[in-house]
Amino acid sequence: MATSRGVRLAQVGLMVNSVLAIIKLAAGVLGNSYALVADAVESLADLFSSLVVWRGIAIAQRGENEAYPFGYGKAEAVASAVVGLMLVAAALGIGAEAVREIRTPHHAPAPFTLLVLIGVVAVKEGLFRFVLKGAEDIGSGAVAADAWHHRSDAITSLAAFIGISVALVGGSGWESADDVAALLASGIILFNGSRILRPAVDELMDRAPVGSLLLAADQAARAVPGVLAIEKLRGRKHGRNYYLDLHVQADPALPLRDAHILSGMVKTAIRTALPSVANVLVHMEPFEP
């Protein structure tokens, strides 16, 4: 169910970005606005990112097999990383072209481009909120990355609106305000790209979970009767789930069968307390004060 919803959210973004990219590119070329053209490039990046997220979610839902015993969950992190890199690349390209446009004399943008941007900002901000809510519901980092890509597009559209407004109100000599807006937008895109890229790389590098997850797992394990100490509790994120391993110390005289049962109780306790934990590897040790 969560995977199907994630795919639907990516499909919605795909359709919306396709339409907006065409509208903004046409308006930017006809209306002589590089900020709007840059905004269209951002929508095209959104288009490809939605395709990447869609494919990443489809791969991540595959089950475990002999070649991939932990499943394909990290495909979502790969998709997020690709989206982040696409944003960084788009930002650098837009910024370089904006600097070139600033140094080149040209006409002011056409007034009708403002109407186009008002509609674009409203649509993209609404899409951001809709997709982000869905990402939070299903716990998908890839879908969340796609949502922030929509917010990035809304911000660049707003920056383009401000730049074009300044160029039109200022008149002669202010034509480059449109290009300055594109340059500022590139900085915002770069920030959002790094914001998406960082957690994706953390997951791919198996960084320890942040927040209270490990603390909650430790408390759940210690609450099991027979557990005398916990050590070496480690975890990593794999797609939407977490995998944990820990050392449990128990009575040295405990029979092997009972120690095995106790390890199963610890695993059950942790997974009951933390539904996002897919598996727990428990290593039993004799208690040493």
Instruction: Provide the CATH number for the domain around residue 37.
Output: 1.20.1510.10
Q: Rounded distance, CA 9 to CA 53, Å?
A: 10
Residues 61 and 191 reside in one and the same domain: yes
DSSP bridge partners of 280 = 244
pLDDT, residue 265, reads 94
Q: Which residue in 133, 109, 124, 184 sits closest to 154, CA to CA? A: 124
Residues 183 and 244 reside in one and the same domain: no
Residues 73 and 190 reside in one and the same domain: yes
**Domain-ending residue, one of 204, 239, 259:** 204
pLDDT, residue 257, reads 92
pTM of the model: 0.67
Residues 19 and 120 reside in one and the same domain: yes
**Residue with structure tokens 């004399």?**
105
pLDDT averaged over 10-residue windows placed end to end, the chain, 289 residues: 66 78 83 74 72 78 80 83 84 82 73 84 87 79 75 79 81 75 81 84 82 89 92 86 92 91 93 90 89
Number of domains forming the structure of the chain: 2
Q: Rounded distance, CA 199 to CA 208, Å?
A: 11
Residues 240 and 134 reside in one and the same domain: no
| 37, 101 contact by CB (below 8 A) | no
pLDDT, residue 7, reads 67
Q: Give the range of the structural domain holding residue 257, as residue numbers without chain letter.
A: 213-286
Residues 134 and 73 reside in one and the same domain: yes
pLDDT, residue 282, reads 93
**Strand order across the 241-250 sheet:** 229-238, 241-250, 277-286
**Domain-ending residue, one of 204, 229, 248:** 204
Residues 44 and 180 reside in one and the same domain: yes
DSSP bridge partners of 260 = none
Residues 57 and 154 reside in one and the same domain: yes
**Domain-ending residue, one of 141, 176, 204:** 204
Residues 187 and 226 reside in one and the same domain: no
